[in-house]
Structure 1
């Protein structure tokens, strides 16, 4: 354990666990505040790609902080064995926990997707793609504000640099990633569209019994809206889904375009986002 970490923070109970480490609640005696401390065990990082990504999380989170919809980093410490990252303490339940049992009303889904796109627009303006957008990486603070977390797979695409490599999670990964092509930051928009679909329908848009079958369905990208689950979903919401879960990345909306940010391609936001999920006439 890092002595500098122990001198500043008191580690308390375990609140989470992942492939490479453990998350603890910790207490700062100076600020009299609780935080989350993520301990990444280096000996578990046997893959060279994982080792290369080791410092991405604190580096990119420091660059992106503060932002109201991105999990804030406060400190990080490193020894030969462990990388420790001190983060804002959020509620224990993720977006995955909120949507696992039932679909969400459109107004609630619109609020969540708007905050997620705000976070992504901020990332993309700084030349950073998250590359692992999924409900498990979406947290909420004590005021129920969305916080995008886990930047371990993030990548720099600034200065026109393209990205490559298969990263992400089967249900949410964009087809261009699976097909081994170079890709851009719009892979995050695809993943966000999949999350929006699941929030409204309670099922994923592309399904399979195994990761291979899921990847095959994603690569085909045959987006459908079954009437039995989309009967009460507005045309505006389905229109936005088509523009986010678009197989042709050149035609896919950017986060900025969906949010009505000033850009050369789009100067008005998508009506479903602007209306807070209220039914909107697109005619």
Structure 2
């Protein structure tokens, strides 16, 4: 987010403009619903590098899905670059006193079991929920299907499909066709580990990046297995953290100022609380 401003209709968030990008689902459509393994692997590694970076900063996204992944295809080389967008439901453990998420945020199609069943009495780890969502993304990229929806259920009404997906997710049933799983055993094993119902048994983002499937056969646009260590170098530079913290504080102060203006100066405490974000 670059800035915030107060318009007649409410508070406006001014985001960075991305030229020449499309959402990942549109790229999938050009490949008939599933991507070649080499392209899927390269894109998924980029996603996990971005996610690991966030997690190591104490930030969980909580709403990772195909339509929030932006891709840019280089017209000359054909290389594809991915960006993780939309942090509307993100949770910053370093900023929030109540660091454990408890709300049912995000898309049901990509939500982890603990998010589906979340309540104030049953909180969950945001980073572990992100791993589940990324596992669903991996399945759609490689196999062109949702991991918890069998081919026999594709003709069901949308509401019935959602119900089937939730039931299978909670039960840990993966519905990828056997022949597809057998054709890409390493990728299927990684996806299955990420879709473990018990969040404590899922690999973290660093472990995912070190998985053999992600470290082999990368396309010409990738820099190779050393990308798994890229975030360590970035985070070792304290200036990056300091700049991010300063920018975050600046935006929160600006939001509080605008909300106070919107309230006519009647609720400075409420404005500050709203700027800090919900405890959810």
Under a length normalisation based on structure 2, what TM-score does the superposition of the two structures give?
A: 0.64
Query: What is aligned with 1:203?
Result: 145
Q: 1:91 to 1:220 in 2, by over 3 A?
A: farther
Cα distance between partner residues in 2 of 1:168 and 1:151 = 10
Distance 2:19 2:211 in 1: 30
Whole-Å separation in 1 of the counterparts to 2:214 and 2:135: 12
- Indicate the structure whose relative CO is greater, using CA pairs within 8 Å and at least 6 residues apart: 2
Partners of 1:107 and 1:141 lie apart in 2 by 16
CA gap 1:86/1:165 in 2 versus in 1, 3 angstroms: closer
Q: How far 1:277 moved relative to its partner?
A: 6.0
The normalised TM-score by structure 1 is: 0.63
Instruction: Give deviations 1:14-69, integer Å, cap 9, x for gaps.
Output: xxxxxxxxxxxxxxxxxxxxxxxxxxxxxxxxxxxxxxxxxxxx4xxxxxxxxxxx
The residue aligned with 1:128 is 59
Q: What is the alpha-carbon distance in structure 2 between the residues aligned to residue 237 and residue 277 of structure 1?
A: 13
Q: Distance in 2 between matches of 1:215 and 1:91?
A: 35
CA contact (8 A) 1:77 1:84 kept: yes
Residue of structure 2 equivalent to 1:91: 20
Report SS of the residue matched to 2:44: helix
In structure 1, the residue matched to 2:116 is: 178
SS at match of 1:272: coil
CA distance in 1 between partners of 2:204 and 2:146 (Å):
21
Q: Which runs of 5+ in 1 are unaligned?
A: 1-57, 59-73, 260-268, 279-283
Structure whose residues are more often strand by fraction = 1
Instruction: Flag the structure with higher helix content.
Output: 2
Q: Which runs of 4+ in 1 moved over 3 A?
A: 141-144, 228-231
CA contact (8 A) 2:93 2:100 kept: yes
1:93-172 matches, within 5 Å, as 93-100=22-29, 101-141=32-72, 143=74, 144-158=80-94, 161-172=99-110
Change (3 A) 1:277 1:172: farther
| Cα root mean square deviation, aligned | 2.2
Name the CA distance, whole Å, in 1 between partners of 2:139 and 2:180.
Answer: 11
Q: 1:254 aligns with which of 204, 225, 243?
A: 204
Partners in 1 of 2:43 and 2:54 — Cα distance?
17
Residue ranges of structure 2 left out of the alignment (5+ in a row): 75-79, 220-280
The number of equivalent residue pairs is: 196
